[in-house]
Amino acid sequence: MHGRIECPDASAWLWHGSLPIFPKKERKRHPLPVQASSVHANPTLREHVRAKAENRPGVYRMYGPGEELLYVGKSVRVRTRVLSYFRAPKGEKAWELIREAARIEWDYIPNEFYALIREMKLIQQWKPKFNVRHKRKRIFAFVKVTAEAAPRVLPVSRVVDDGSTYYGPFPRVRALAQTIRELSSTLELRDCPATTPVYFDDQLEMFGKGRVPSCIRAELRTCLAPCCGRPTVGAYMERVELAKRFLEGRAHEPLARLEEKMNAAAARMDFEYAGILRDRLERLHQFRDQLVAFRGAVDGLTFLYRVPGYAGDDRLYLIRRGRIQREMAHPKGKRGRERVARAIEQVYGDLDRGPMGLAPQDAAEILLVARWFRLKPKERKRTTPPERWLREKRPRESTITVDR
């Protein structure tokens, strides 16, 4: 773009291309504007894109001279999108990117949905310096109920195969940590280090009586205190199971306990403490509602998703709890339907372990798939539950039961 030039005698202008040429007597007063550089100095790269790229959905990658991956992008029209970088004005990010680029590659993907997923995975894997979205290592939160003698309920940022029970993922780490502390306090579950020795009232050794509490929560009786042998195994595990049911959205008792304490504090006119409990109760209510809504949203992302593709390349995605487990060509005959049926039995027939072993990129995929269907609710019409697909395509054969 060129800046606007004011001239008292506009009729005296002559034009060459897009630049004004003033009469000689006006040239000193009105020097020619500097033309912004909008074309990359390497026309060979631009011509390569013009000659080879097509306007199809896909993912493109730009590399520097040292084979460094500079940028990953996706578009439903790869050729048009990539060529637009060569028209960027000097100083813009796109201009800087093309100035450093030595090579551009692209892969055609039949549809925008999977191009979006592919773009995210490449950015997370290679972390190109010109990418911003998906590049930052996003930390997801999970709720972990440990598999210890006296289990704890903890907020964690990763899932490992250690026998614990996990719930999540959740995007807000700090808020989750505070809520889980309040849940543990309400149910009087311990939150001390894993190295703290644990003793139960019905499993004490001969000289175990009279142990001293290990923390202030035990002193204040806000913890059942297995560190000093107060609860029985059964009493403590009953609270742990209650916490699990709450995290699954199947128990109201923790909220009822807290409400009872709040009313008792108000009755004895300890209004400051009652206010603290009221705020805690409100946060747990919100957390419970979020848990139920999130679990329902993720569980609802279990289906076969048919996506129309470029030039008739329709694809079928087998999605289970928000994760794409299999990608296949949409079947057009009996042999293809049998292939899909076998894949359905493999993907949906096995017991689902929830978030066990869920890597950060898997958590990001779940949230991205959920966002896709949230922003494009009409796409739900293209989905089919696995049981219904088998019932319609293989009506005379047995069907599977999906563990959702």
Question: What is the tens place of the pLDDT at every residue in 363-391?
Answer: 788 889 988 999 999 999 999 999 999 98
N- to C-terminal Cα separation, the chain: 56
| Per-residue pLDDT band at 284 (split at 50, 70, 90) | confident
Q: How many domains does the chain have?
A: 4
Residues 336-353 have a mean pLDDT of: 87
76-130 confidence digits (pLDDT tens):
999 999 999 999 998 899 999 999 999 999 999 999 999 999 999 999 889 999 9
Q: What is the pLDDT of residue 310?
A: 95
Does residue 304 surpass a pLDDT of 90? yes
Closest CA to 150 of 214, 210, 235, 27: 235
Residues 135-150 have a mean pLDDT of: 80
Query: Across the strands, what pairs with 19?
Result: 16
Most confident option among 35-39, 87-91, 312-316 = 312-316
Q: What is the pLDDT of residue 373?
A: 94
Domain limits for position 105: 43-126
Higher pLDDT, 166 or 269: 269
d(C-alpha 345, C-alpha 304), whole Å: 12
Enter the DSSP assignment of 142.
E
Pair (5, 76) in one structural domain: no
- Write 29-32 long-range contacts (CB < 8 A, 24+): 30/5
Pair (18, 47) in one structural domain: no
Pair (152, 255) in one structural domain: yes
258-282 confidence digits (pLDDT tens):
899 899 999 999 999 899 889 888 8
- In a domain? residue 292: no
Q: What is the pLDDT of residue 222?
A: 85
- CB-CB contact of 236 with 228 (8 Å): no
Instruction: Please report where in the chains the tokens 């490449």 appear, as a residue.
Output: 122
Pair (304, 387) in one structural domain: yes
Pair (306, 387) in one structural domain: yes
Does residue 35 surpass a pLDDT of 50? no
Where does residue 320 rank: exposed (0-12), middle (13-18), buried (19+ CB within 10 A)? buried
| Per-residue pLDDT band at 4 (split at 50, 70, 90) | very low
Query: Across the strands, what pairs with 291?
Result: none
Q: What is the pLDDT of residue 116?
A: 96
Pair (151, 112) in one structural domain: no
- In a domain? residue 178: yes
Higher pLDDT, 300 or 175: 300
Query: Across the strands, what pairs with 145?
Result: 153, 165
- In a domain? residue 201: yes
Q: What is the pLDDT of residue 402?
A: 60
235-256 confidence digits (pLDDT tens):
999 999 999 888 877 778 888 8
203-232 confidence digits (pLDDT tens):
755 445 567 777 888 888 889 999 988 999
| Per-residue pLDDT band at 403 (split at 50, 70, 90) | low
Closest CA to 73 of 138, 136, 130: 130
Q: What is the pLDDT of residue 139?
A: 65
Q: What is the pLDDT of residue 355?
A: 58
Phi, psi (deg, nearest 5) at residue 181:
-60, -40
- In a domain? residue 80: yes
- In a domain? residue 183: yes
Q: What is the pLDDT of residue 404?
A: 54
Pair (189, 231) in one structural domain: yes
Q: What is the pLDDT of residue 43?
A: 83
Enter the DSSP assignment of 89.
P
- CB-CB contact of 326 with 317 (8 Å): yes
Pair (173, 277) in one structural domain: yes
Pair (162, 279) in one structural domain: yes
Pair (274, 314) in one structural domain: no
d(C-alpha 227, C-alpha 224), whole Å: 9
- In a domain? residue 295: no
Residues 327-350 have a mean pLDDT of: 92
Q: What is the pLDDT of residue 375?
A: 93
Q: What is the pLDDT of residue 209?
A: 56
Higher pLDDT, 386 or 165: 386
d(C-alpha 391, C-alpha 352), whole Å: 22
Mean pLDDT (the chain, rounded): 82
Phi, psi (deg, nearest 5) at residue 384:
-140, 130
Instruction: Please report where in the chains the tokens 């010109």 appear, as a residue.
Output: 130
- In CATH, what number is assigned to the domain containing residue 73? 3.40.1440.10
Higher pLDDT, 54 or 33: 54
Helix 112-126 × helix 360-375 angle, to 10°: 150
167-216 confidence digits (pLDDT tens):
877 766 677 888 899 899 889 999 999 999 998 988 755 445 567 777 88
Pair (168, 282) in one structural domain: yes
Enter the DSSP assignment of 331.
P
Pair (260, 318) in one structural domain: no
Tokens, residue 74: 């996706």
Higher pLDDT, 41 or 131: 131
Residues 297-309 have a mean pLDDT of: 92
Q: What is the pLDDT of residue 331?
A: 94
d(C-alpha 118, C-alpha 327), whole Å: 12
Does residue 317 surpass a pLDDT of 90? yes
Which amino acid appears at position 55 of this protein? N
- E strands in 176-322: 303-307, 315-320
